[in-house]
Amino acid sequence: MSRDARIRLPQPAPVTVRVPAKVNLHLGVGPRRLDGYHDLATVFQAVSLYDEVTASPADELSVEVAGADGVPADENNLAVRAARALAHTAGVEPAVHLRLSKGIPVAGGMAGGSADAAAALVACDALWGTGLERSNLSALAAALGSDVPFALHGGTALGSGRGELLSPVLGQGQYHWVFALARVGLSTTLVYEELDRQRHQGEAVAPAGPPDPVLGALRAGDPVALGRVLANDLQPAAVRLRPQLRHVLAAGQELGALGAVVSGSGPTVAFLVRSAAVSISFASALAGLGVCRTIRRASGPVAGARILPPDSR
Ligand code: C5P
């Protein structure tokens, strides 16, 4: 058969997945384990800052990144690793072009890289029609990184193990957040190492303990109570590595936030406020103080990684 006479199968349409950032309402960190990770007792909330990942048919695996600097567009990108892992498990060729459109701060403690990995799993799964169960995707997600399963899951969830074991949290209400972003990110690994050092040298503050107060506030749907009990064992380590965060946290408290906490390993700082209307005035007052690079508003909980209908873009 001549080349021109070969039958061309129709190409599947590109698939776009929208995936949210996360904030930890409670992040209790246990001692370092033998594998180098730390056992966590954490409460995640997915918030309305999003990345979009589009998977398009291609002859081989490639990636492009839009909307942010400092994201690797190569094999170090977690979305690329996710596509390869999925292809391997499903027994298909990793033939896809991934386009990451970034809205989640990079290296900000809001799990942007993990979000892209989760979105790549969902997008490639649909593009390739692998027919894998959701539980297969969750297992792949957990192998890719501690925060990847939550980015698939979304909502509000209790995380244990190294953060990858999730159970849903019964809660009510919508919570309004203002996020203060830093110019330069922080390495998660270095923040955990700094916490280990502080604990080793007896410098660490008392641990956050169990997340029960946060779970109680969520059950009651009470943002005032939630603001009082936000807790993060990584916060002193992040502040030690980035002393400017002290000023950011103090500025938010001065402006009347219900609560202020470093998000995950930082350096993003999350401020809980009473309403969407308050978030607007709070954000502009915070901008006026000039303590951070950029300010973003969001609310949560929101759904995890979801395919966008083709006509919604
Ligand atoms: O799982 P992930 O690749 O996102 O973790 C990045 C780094 O954060 C790990 O290499 C480890 O140093 C640290 N980490 C940890 N304990 C956890 C999660 C992450 O020590 N539960």
Residue 7 banded pLDDT, cuts 50, 70, 90 = confident
DSSP symbol at 258: S
Answer yes or no: are the C-beta atoms of 241 and 258 closer than 8 Å.
Answer: no
User: Tens of pLDDT along 53-63?
Assistant: 999 999 999 99
State pLDDT tens for residues 14-48: 999 999 999 999 999 999 999 999 999 999 999 99
Active site residue 22: yes
Please give the distance, rounded to the nearest whole angstrom, from the Cα atom of residue 309 to the centre of ligand 1: 34
In ligand 1, the atom with minimum distance to the C-alpha of 29 is 21
Give yes or no for residue 312 having a pLDDT over 80: no
Residue of minimum CA distance from atom 13 in ligand 1: 189
Give 310 Cα–ligand 1 centroid separation in angstroms: 35
Identify the CA nearest to 265 among candidates 192, 170, 181, 180: 192
8-state DSSP, 264: T
- Contact indicator for 2, 133 with CB cutoff of 8 Å: no
pLDDT band at 313 (very low <50, low <70, confident <90, very high): low
Ligand 1 neighbourhood includes 233 CB (under 6 angstroms): no
Given a contact cutoff of 8 angstroms between Cβ atoms, the answer to whether 61 and 93 are in contact is: no
281 — phi, psi (to 5°)?
Answer: -70, -40
For this structure, is 147 an active site residue? yes
Which atom of ligand 1 is found nearest the CA of 188? 8
Cα→Cα distances 30→27, 145, 201, Å: 10, 18, 16
- Environment class of 30 (CB within 10 Å of its CB; exposed 0-12, middle 13-18, buried 19+): middle
Mean pLDDT of 70-94: 95
Please indicate whether residue 38, judged by its CB atom, sits closer than 6 Å to ligand 1: yes
Calpha distance 285→288 (Å, rounded): 5
Check pLDDT > 80 for residue 291.
Answer: yes
Query: Which residue puts its alpha carbon closest to atom 9 of ligand 1?
Result: 189
Per-residue pLDDT, averaged over 204-230, amounts to: 95
Give the per-residue pLDDT at 293.
87
Work out the number of other CB atoms within 10 angstroms of the CB of residue 93: 11
Number of Cβ within 10 Å of residue 160's Cβ equals 15
**What angle, 0 to 180 degrees and rounded to 10, lies between the N-to-C axes of helices 78-90 and 134-144?**
140
Q: In the predicted model, what is the mean pLDDT of the chain?
A: 95
Determine the pLDDT at residue 5: 57
Complete DSSP assignment for 92-126: ----EEEEEE--SPTTSSS-HHHHHHHHHHHHHHH
Q: What is the pLDDT of residues 163-210, one digit of tens each?
A: 999 999 999 999 999 999 998 999 999 999 999 999 999 998 888 989
- What digits encode the pLDDT tens for the residues 134-161? 899 999 999 999 999 999 999 999 999 9
Which residue in the list 51, 116, 125, 147 is annotated as catalytic? 147
145 Cβ below 6 A of ligand 1: yes
Return the ligand 1 atom nearest residue 114 CA. 4
Residue type, 13: A
Looking at residue 1, its pLDDT comes to 47
| Cα dihedral value 205, 258, 271, 276, nearest 10 | 160
**Residue appearing with tokens 């749907």:** 221
pLDDT average, residue stretch 4-9: 66
Q: Read off the pLDDT band of 289 (50, 70, 90).
A: very high
Q: Which helix (H) or strand (E) holds 260?
A: strand 259-262
